[in-house]
């Protein structure tokens, strides 16, 4: 085959490949949407980060303002040290509050920032002091059960009656509906 | 009597295993040597770039039809299967993410490499095997033309250039196939399809890693095809066996390498 025809076809082939890569990057990937330009890094200590992973989003008012860069463990305080790289376009006050939230009931975890009222802004290397840990579902359930149990024992000590009132106190707990046929 | 027959059989079996292992290691070493020689003579080959372009035409452009058609069908099947399962959990909008991640991360590079081994790898092996059988390679050496620089290296670089392009086109056309099935046929919302895809496909960790995979597969597939051709016994039977071995070895190499690369990229 003629050399110029081959050149033309290979040119079309390579151009198609480059166009498809650009298409993938723009239309399929997040090169345009989540492009965070220059960043500054701040750290935050948490007692429990739950299932937070590096590259998880950092959101404020629902807008992605940065990403979790790195998660390490501090053996001096036994806390998790999370470094966040935030977009330079979004400065936050020094007394910003960092929470770990969960997207939906079972979704991925992300960090939510709530701006405070301080005049000075966070700069590279600063530390966010006010943090709130991840909500661990098992902990919440066990706390709920514990409080219910202590309520019922309180009832018992107040009334100090027969076992019937005991059963009533237990029966009035919302947990009663779980897997138990009602007595009446 | 029976005992000695058993012993002889055992020794013969062990000898067979040993022979096969030594031959396998020898062939692996010879392949690495050929790879090294190819890299060494690449400079000479890049100075005559039209040789590479010619081979890109034969390995890349001529493989376009099979790659694009199979990509379209793979994308549509992914769409159908994904929808069937996802709708049970009420999240059929996630179908875009499923199709895009499956194609960009895995199916694009791997299926392209398997098809490439069948379509272009066999052609390379048969061509070089026949060149050797008809003593064209020896004739080149007689004329002080290095067959590695003139024949092997251009085909190698052509394969390395063509494979990522084919894999990218495979992913793109597969996603288009998934889109055409999910949005107009099934009725998934087009906005949710694209926006969920964009939110979950990462440029560096998904797309670029897929491209890196396809470059590695390109090196492996092309080198195996070239070595099998270069090493083929110069007979009709030898060339036919070498062609078969190209497909088998390339497929196994691609799947094995895919596992290794994926485990590195996901860093589990």
- SS in 3 state form for A36-103? CCCEEEEEEEECCCCCCCCCCEEEECCEEEEEEEEEEEECCCCEEEEEEEEECCCCCECCCEEEEEEC
From B100, B199, B207, residue closest to A25, measured CB to CB? B207
The answer, yes or no, to whether residue A148 has pLDDT greater than 70, is yes
- Paired tokens of A67: 């990403």
For residues B228 and B249, the answer to whether their CB atoms sit within 8 Å is: yes
Q: What integer is the mean pLDDT of A91-100?
A: 89
The answer, yes or no, to whether residue B2 has pLDDT greater than 60, is yes
Give the side-chain half-sphere CA count within 13 A for B129.
Answer: 27
From B54, B168, B199, residue closest to A17, measured CB to CB? B168
User: Nearest CA to CA, how far is B192 from chain A (Å)?
Assistant: 12
Q: φ, ψ for residue A117 (rounded to 5)?
A: -115, 5
The residues spanned by each domain of chain A are 1-35, 39-135, 138-174
The answer, yes or no, to whether residue A182 has pLDDT greater than 80, is no
- Paired tokens of B179: 């889109």
Q: Does B103 touch chain A (CB under 8 A)?
A: no
pLDDT of A90: 87
User: In which band, very low, low, confident or very high, does the pLDDT at A178 lie, cut at 50, 70 and 90?
Assistant: low
User: Nearest CA to CA, how far is A3 from chain B (Å)?
Assistant: 8
* Neighboring chain A residues of B197 at a CB cutoff of 8 Å: 28
Residues 6 or more apart whose CB falls under 8 angstroms from that of A115 comprise A60, A92, A93, A96
Q: Compute the distance between CA of residue B219 and CA of residue B228 in angstroms, rounded to an integer.
A: 14
Task: Answer yes or no: do A10 and B169 touch at CB < 8 A.
Answer: no
User: In sequence order, what are the beta bridge partners of A60?
Assistant: A63
Task: Answer yes or no: do A30 and B199 touch at CB < 8 A.
Answer: yes
From A7, A17, A33, residue closest to B169, measured CB to CB? A17
- Paired tokens of B77: 């099947």
Task: Answer yes or no: do A28 and B100 touch at CB < 8 A.
Answer: yes
pLDDT of A66: 85
Q: What is the pLDDT of residues B162-217, one digit of tens each?
A: 999 999 999 999 999 999 999 888 888 888 888 888 878 888 888 999 999 999 99
Specify the DSSP class assigned to residue A136: P
Lowest mean pLDDT among A56-60, B132-136, B207-211: A56-60
The answer, yes or no, to whether residue A170 has pLDDT greater than 70, is no
Q: What is the pLDDT of residues B86-102, one digit of tens each?
A: 888 878 888 888 999 99
User: Nearest CA to CA, how far is A35 from chain B (Å)?
Assistant: 10
Q: What is the pLDDT of residues B164-174, one digit of tens each?
A: 999 999 999 99
For residues A62 and A113, the answer to whether their CB atoms sit within 8 Å is: no
pLDDT of B136: 92
Q: What is the pLDDT of residues B237-250, one digit of tens each?
A: 999 999 999 999 99
């Amino acid at each position: 085959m003629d050399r110029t025809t081959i050149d033309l076809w290979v040119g079309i082939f390579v151009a198609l490949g480059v166009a498809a890569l650009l298409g993938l990057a723009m239309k399929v990937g997040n090169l345009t949407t989540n492009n965070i330009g220059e960043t500054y890094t701040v750290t935050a200590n948490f007692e429990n980060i739950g299932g937070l992973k590096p590259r998880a989003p950092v959101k404020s008012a629902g807008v992605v303002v940065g990403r979790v860069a790195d998660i390490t463990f501090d053996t001096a305080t036994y806390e998790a040290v999370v470094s966040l790289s935030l977009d330079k376009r979004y400065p936050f006050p020094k007394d910003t509050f960092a929470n770990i939230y969960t997207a939906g009931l079972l979704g991925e975890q992300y960090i939510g920032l709530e701006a405070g009222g301080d005049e000075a802004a966070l700069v590279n290397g600063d530390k966010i002091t006010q943090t709130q840990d991840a909500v661990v579902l098992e902990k919440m359930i066990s706390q709920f059960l514990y409080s219910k149990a202590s309520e019922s024992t309180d009832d018992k000590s107040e009334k100090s009656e027969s076992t019937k009132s005991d059963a009533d106190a237990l029966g009035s707990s919302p947990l009663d509906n779980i897997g138990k046929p009602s007595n009446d | 009597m029976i005992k000695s027959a058993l012993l002889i059989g055992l020794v013969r079996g062990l000898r067979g295993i040993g022979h096969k292992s030594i031959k396998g290691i020898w062939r692996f070493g010879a392949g690495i040597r050929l790879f090294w020689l190819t890299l060494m003579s690449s400079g000479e080959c890049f100075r005559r770039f039209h040789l590479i372009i010619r081979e890109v035409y034969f390995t890349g452009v001529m493989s376009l039809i099979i790659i694009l058609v199979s990509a379209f069908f793979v994308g549509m099947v992914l769409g159908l299967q994904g929808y069937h399962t996802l709708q049970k959990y009420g999240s059929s909008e996630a179908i875009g993410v499923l199709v895009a991640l499956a194609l960009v991360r895995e199916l694009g590079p791997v299926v392209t490499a398997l098809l490439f081994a069948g379509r272009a790898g066999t052609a390379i092996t048969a061509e070089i095997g026949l060149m050797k059988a008809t003593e064209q390679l020896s004739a080149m050496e007689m004329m002080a033309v290095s067959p590695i620089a003139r024949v092997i290296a251009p085909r190698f670089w052509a394969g390395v250039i063509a494979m990522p392009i084919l894999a990218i086109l495979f992913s793109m056309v597969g996603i288009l196939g998934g889109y055409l099935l999910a949005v107009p046929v099934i009725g998934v919302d087009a906005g949710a399809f694209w926006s969920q895809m964009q939110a979950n496909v990462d440029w560096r960790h998904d797309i670029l890693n897929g491209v890196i995979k396809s470059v590695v597969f390109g090196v492996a597939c092309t080198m195996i095809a070239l070595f099998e051709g270069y090493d083929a016994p110069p007979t009709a039977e030898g060339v036919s066996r070498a062609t078969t071995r190209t497909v088998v070895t390339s497929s196994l190499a691609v799947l094995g390498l895919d596992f290794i690369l994926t485990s590195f990229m996901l860093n589990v």
